[in-house]
């Protein structure tokens, strides 16, 4: 297995397949780089180098007590880009990974980056505040924290239902997809996953979005029950200077799985465009 070492000595796992222009994927919470398998296989088969890392305390990376915050996540991703000496990379982030992509560019610039893609991404801010009155109440995130502490295994299993829209009338439920989500979630460390809840809910990425100076594709399902589209993609599309917004009608938060063929085609067209 392949690892890079960060400034604080943390070992970050990554997989690196194929050759050509690099496409670098940042996964959502509480998953791992394996969440991107459908996209990595497809784009790799179309002549691209595809790379996905496991965020610290997720997947196969080291489980750390400290550093489970977005500044460190962004520094870790920047270290990956530097260590592999990637040029003209396309950064693709889902959910929390969208915050990671935005904050990496906002914090480190776009010297190595040609384009960005935000899918079901949390920016600019999920939490309901005085300045973000349509956001999600803090109680929702406190309930997530409680679920992780009380019975993480059951919480992750239950989360798959709204995550993939399997709780909607007529939905075709895949127990295998639910199992894969659960397995990825349980690979991670509870401390890092607990800390990460703050990073996807309370961190304001508005200024990061304004600093994204590369062409950016924003994709979001209008039936996303995890990251509501009104306070995420619709706002982000107005903040990113070179943004293109695509709304998937009826799509859930887990659209990289439920709408893989459509997403893959859109990614390929955007990367080639």
Beta carbons within 10 angstroms of residue 111's beta carbon: 10
Whether 120 and 224 have beta carbons less than 8 Å apart is answered as yes
Q: CA angle 193-107-200, nearest 5°?
A: 25
What CATH number is associated with residue 219? Answer: 3.40.50.1820
pLDDT tens readout for residues 191-225: 999 999 999 999 999 999 999 999 999 999 999 99
Per-residue pLDDT of the chain (273 residues; tens, 9 = 90+): 899 999 999 999 999 999 999 999 999 999 999 999 999 999 999 999 999 999 999 999 999 999 999 999 999 999 999 999 999 999 999 999 999 999 999 999 999 999 999 999 999 999 999 999 999 999 999 999 999 999 999 999 999 999 999 999 999 999 999 999 999 999 999 999 999 999 999 999 999 999 999 999 999 999 999 999 999 999 999 999 999 999 999 999 999 999 999 999 999 999 999
Structural domains of the chain, count: 1
Look at residues 260, 208, 217, 256 and name the one whose alpha carbon lies nearest to residue 95. Answer: 256
Name the pTM for this structure: 0.98
Residue 80: per-residue pLDDT: 98
β-pairing, 2-5 with 11-17? antiparallel
Residue 1: per-residue pLDDT: 83
Look at residues 219, 163, 203 and name the one whose alpha carbon lies nearest to residue 35. Answer: 163
The residue segments making up the domain with residue 97 are 2-272
The 11-17 sheet, strands edge to edge: 2-5, 11-17, 49-53, 22-26, 89-94, 113-119, 216-221, 243-248
Residue 144: per-residue pLDDT: 98
pLDDT tens readout for residues 131-142: 999 999 999 999
Residue 272: per-residue pLDDT: 98
Residue 101: per-residue pLDDT: 98
Residue 259: per-residue pLDDT: 98
Tell me whether residue 214 is exposed, middle or buried, using C-beta atoms within 10 angstroms of its C-beta: 0 to 12, 13 to 18, 19 or more.
middle
CA distances (Å), origin 21, targets 75, 216, 269: 22, 17, 14
Q: Which residues of 17-28 are buried (b: 16+ CB within 10 A; e: fewer)?
A: ebeebbbbbbbb
Residue 64: per-residue pLDDT: 98
Peptide bond into 273 cis (omega under 30): no
Look at residues 130, 49, 31 and name the one whose alpha carbon lies nearest to residue 88. Answer: 49
> Which residues are part of the catalytic machinery?
95, 224, 253
End-to-end CA, the chain: 33
For the chain, give the percent of residues with pLDDT over 70.
100
């Amino acid at each position: 297995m392949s690892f890079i070492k960060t400034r604080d000595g943390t070992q970050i796992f990554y997989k690196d397949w194929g050759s050509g222009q690099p496409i670098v994927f940042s996964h959502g919470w509480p998953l791992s780089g394996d969440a991107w398998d459908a996209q990595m296989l497809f784009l790799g088969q179309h002549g691209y180098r595809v790379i996905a890392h496991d965020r610290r305390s997720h997947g196969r990376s080291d489980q750390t007590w400290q550093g489970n915050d977005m500044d460190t996540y962004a520094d870790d991703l920047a270290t990956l880009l530097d260590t592999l000496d990637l040029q003209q990379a396309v950064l693709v982030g889902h959910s929390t990974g969208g915050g990671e992509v935005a904050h990496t560019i906002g914090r480190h610039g776009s010297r190595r980056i040609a384009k960005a893609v935000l899918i079901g991404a949390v920016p600019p801010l999920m939490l309901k505040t005085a300045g973000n009155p349509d956001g999600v109440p803090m109680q929702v995130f406190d309930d997530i924290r409680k679920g992780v502490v009380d019975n993480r295994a059951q919480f992750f299993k239950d989360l798959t239902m709204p995550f993939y829209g399997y709780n909607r009338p007529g939905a075709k439920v895949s127990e295998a997809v639910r199992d894969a989500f659960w397995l990825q979630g349980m690979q991670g460390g509870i401390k890092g996953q607990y800390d990460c809840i703050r990073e996807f809910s309370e961190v304001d990425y508005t200024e990061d979005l304004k600093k994204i100076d590369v062409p950016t594709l924003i994709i979001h399902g209008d039936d996303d029950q995890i990251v509501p589209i009104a306070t995420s993609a619709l706002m982000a599309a107005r903040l990113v200077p070179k943004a293109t917004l695509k709304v998937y009608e009826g799509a859930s938060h887990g659209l990289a799985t439920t709408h893989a063929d459509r997403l893959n085609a859109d990614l390929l067209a955007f990367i080639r465009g």
